[in-house]
Structure 1
């Protein structure tokens, strides 16, 4: 799985095959022809309503791939982690790392593609968080 370049159609097709869902059931669910479903498998991106339907049908959150992409390739700066409301109350936002993101990062370290310090610098993941992940493997 490539978190940087997401091809949502192939990810959906993979899940369909994993769950062994028939084309007939999918066609009925989407009220589409087999050709239209096949076109979705080849789609690099798709409408969020359609992606939500796929998520419901396959009982899998396909949006998590995009969340992972945002965490890795558009990380929030430390200043952006604090928001001010009208009453000067501080609200802290904590990044949520999906299992896919953790696996992606840990694979980079395991294969020697990146060091732990490289990961911390490039993706702005706190050292303590990274080392906790590494401890669990």
Structure 2
């Protein structure tokens, strides 16, 4: 798993391009850009969401999920921001019932426990993962430990 704390999205896009062995002419046609413009985009650590959306479509990979996983690990939703601003005010933004832990997130966390990079308590505290959730993951994947 890539380092989710520091995301260089262009590096990940280049990695996907290599996996698919995609031709630069196809990329240029899709974006309607000259080769130099595409290469310039691929040098940036971050990019506009419209461009990232196009990359996601072209490469058939959800690059936004990388940022979502970052948020789950490093900025979990608090009770205040989960749809209840105050008793009298509510947000018009969509609210999400709970965090979605992907297989990659679970594997990342279990790997930290297995390699003793972090204690169970550190993971509970730092990532705000409920104790019961962490112990269920460990029990479910105990053959790996």
* CA offset digits 1:28-52 (Å, max 9, x no partner): 1011122222222221100000000
Q: 1: distance between equivalents of 2:36 and 2:68?
A: 29
Q: CA RMSD in A?
A: 2.3
Which is strand-richer, 1 or 2? 1
Match of 2:122 among 98, 105, 118: 118
Q: 2: distance between equivalents of 1:68 and 1:80?
A: 17
Match of 2:132 among 123, 128, 131: 128
**What is the aligned length?**
134
1:1-137 correspondence to structure 2 within 5 Å: 1-81=2-82, 83=84, 93-134=97-138, 135-136=140-141, 137=144
Structure 2, unaligned stretches of length 5 or more? 89-94
Paired residues of 1:64 and 1:98 also in contact (CA < 8 A) = no
Give how far 1:15 is off.
Answer: 0.6
Paired residues of 1:51 and 1:62 also in contact (CA < 8 A) = yes
Give how far 1:78 is off.
Answer: 3.8
Give how far 1:99 is off.
Answer: 3.1
Normalised by the length of structure 1, the TM-score is 0.84
Give how far 1:105 is off.
Answer: 1.6
Which is helix-richer, 1 or 2? 1
Structure 1 residue matching 2:118: 3-state secondary structure: coil
Structure 1, unaligned stretches of length 5 or more? none
Normalised by the length of structure 2, the TM-score is 0.80
Structure 2 residue matching 1:2: 3-state secondary structure: coil
